[in-house]
Amino acid sequence: MAQRFTTRPEIRGTFGAVSSTHWLASAVGMGVLERDGNAFDAAVATGLTLQIVEPHLNGPGGEVPIIAQATGWDRPRVICGQGISPAAATIQAIKDLGYDRMPGMGLAPAVVPGAFDAWMLLLLECGTARLRDVLEPAIGYAANGYPLAHRAAEAIHAIAPTLEQDWPSSSEVWLADGLPLPGQLVRKPQIADAYRRLLTEAEAGGGGREAEIARARLIWSQGFVAEAIDTFYRSEQSDGQGHRSTGLLTGQDMAEWSASWENTISRSFQGVEVHKTGAWGQGPALPMALGMAEAGGISDLQPGTAPFLHLAIEAIKRALADRDAWFADTNHVDVPIEALLSDAYLAARAAEIGETADQSLSPGDPLGDGMDRGTLLSELAANPNQGLGQGEPTFADLPSIEGDTCHLDVVDRHGNIVAATPSGGWLQSAPAVPGLGFNVTTRGQMFWLDDRLPSHLAPRRRPRTTLTPTLVTRGNRPVLACGSPGGDQQDQWTMMLLLRHLVEGLGLQAAIDAPMVHSGHYVNSFAPRLFTPGLLFVEDRLPKAVCKELSGRGHDVRVQPSWALGRLCAAGFTRDGQVRAAATPRFCQAYAVGR
């Protein structure tokens, strides 16, 4: 049998595997497995390391959704590490701070930083390692230095004027020794000191690993970390765009929130079950799009052809429109998720897909109330004012670079599996908190300041995040963990991976390497909430004849460089029990390791 060329080997073995968006983090995770940690221990150490080595994509003050399945569980479960809006966060409060649109930078859009507590919850209830075991690699890189990735250096150079002029606390962290260059060793002594202090205080009371982890969670939410954030967010700071304001986030907000377990939402596709977070994130859009594609007969089409891609693209466009019209924090809003995922609804949506590209913004109406949500969304997304910090915030002034976060997947020899998409707390989004060396997530920018939409700003709500890891099972057994950074593109790229793997039959690495496409036809989740009808991005390795036919169908095809789209990672199990993993070669950063 001929072997298909791949840029890297698909990792196979029997012991364990880690795939993440940075090679150092993958190596750290594998080291934990080698020291007899399980997949959950490895995931926590990998995630904490990513906060240090991918600072332009996430940080200690960010958030993370996690999907995990332990040996013996009958289905995966979700840890929600998406923090909530402050108690004082109302539409009028943001307007009183001087904004007529939800800002993308500064103190005002901050929500409770949830990543640390989510990682601690996973470690406490599923892991075996002690707090020191998972924190020391991150502390080591922060204290002793790590080689700065090329794209991180670009991001720092782009935001440097803002750091120097408006955010002195951030300038102290990133520009103390001048502008860093790609490959240069970069240290973060403030973060190292903060984590050392947290570790010392957590270990001081004794009582074993469970007691240490419990104290660490309290120190974060009620101790010196929360106190430093509370003090800084009461001061008036620049948002980096010419406006100064205080924040709304308080230490009390942090004390009253903690990460929590919940069920996945899922739908079958091609003989497997695709599990996602609830509708507080964009996760349900993926099984919706897969359901529409299946109802539209995608299995009968030749993979990689224009009809195949057209059907997939039109399906994801409709799923994302439904996302924007219906998804919101399910603790506060009654999202009709069962109706949105029903066979009848998805078949009806698939029947809307014609031979040409839809140019409208057309969410469906699962409740039959007749409200024109598409027009409302189009009106709110109109007349964007592009500027620094607008668009995907992690790459301000770097429009050629896609992506806004990190991803990791881990499997072990015991059959445990975890997928997580850490994000938030980007160095470009807000000034660093003095004494901590990191800033707080601005995920609140995803709220609307219009109460006609379910994802509008209100107190103690989760913003409708874009973060969306995926876990696939077959017969209740885990098969695959996967995902990608990329804001609104995350589930689009994951959909392409699953179609190539499950429908076309490609291996994981071959599916990741294949020419990538994604639609730009959606209301952007980040400020300024731009909507561009018909837009379609394709890598130039897609055959020209396919591009021409897609253009003929009405897609506004924008050809991108050969390896420009997607940062997919994946890890899972073969049918005979081997571990497997793969990672994208794009941007020369992600890596899969295993044995």
Model pLDDT for residues 80-98, shown as the tens digit of each residue: 999 999 999 999 999 999 9
Average pLDDT, the chain: 94
* Residue 52, CA distances (Å) to 57, 248, 423, 438 in order: 10, 26, 12, 10
Exposure pattern of 421-443 as b/e (b: 16+ CB <10 Å)? bbbbbbbbbbbbbbbbbbbbbbb
- Of 224, 228, 214, which Cα lies nearest the Cα of 258? 214
Do 115 and 47 touch, CB atoms closer than 8 A?
yes
pLDDT > 90 in the chain, percent: 92
Residue 124 is predicted with a pLDDT of 98
Exposure pattern of 359-388 as b/e (b: 16+ CB <10 Å)? eebbbbbbeeeeeebbebbbebbeebeebb
Q: Which amino acid is at 436?
A: L
pLDDT above 70 (res 144) = yes
Decide which of 108 and 372 is more confident.
108
Whether the bond between 485 and the residue before it is cis, its omega within 30 degrees of 0, is no
Decide which of 530 and 458 is more confident.
458
* Residue 448, CA distances (Å) to 290, 328, 381, 393, 463 in order: 27, 11, 10, 17, 9
| Mean pLDDT computed over 443-456 | 95
Residue 382 is predicted with a pLDDT of 62
Number of H helices, E strands in the chain: 19, 21
Q: CA-CA distance, 426 to 115, in Å (whole number)?
A: 13
> What is the widest separation between alpha-carbon atoms in the chain?
68
In tens, the pLDDT along 380-401 reads 886 544 433 444 444 343 333 3
Give me the residue label for tokens 């994951």: 494
Task: Name the pairing type of β-strands 556-560 and 535-539.
Answer: parallel
Q: How many CB atoms lie within 10 A of CB 99?
A: 17
pLDDT above 90 (res 563) = yes
Residue 398 is predicted with a pLDDT of 39
- Of 320, 319, 326, 327, which Cα lies nearest the Cα of 289? 319
Give me the residue label for tokens 């640390």: 116
Decide which of 2 and 182 is more confident.
182
* Residue 131, SS3 per DSSP: helix
Exposure pattern of 242-259 as b/e (b: 16+ CB <10 Å)? eeebebbbbbebbeebbb
Residue 387 is predicted with a pLDDT of 38
Which residues face 263 on adjacent strands?
77
Do 115 and 57 touch, CB atoms closer than 8 A?
no
Q: CA-CA distance, 421 to 70, in Å (whole number)?
A: 18
pLDDT above 80 (res 283) = yes
Residue 2 is predicted with a pLDDT of 54
Q: CA-CA distance, 416 to 152, in Å (whole number)?
A: 32
528 confidence band (pLDDT: 50, 70, 90) = confident
Residue 577 is predicted with a pLDDT of 94
Strands (E), 495-583: 517-519, 535-539, 556-560, 569-573, 579-583
> Which H or E run includes 273?
strand 272-276
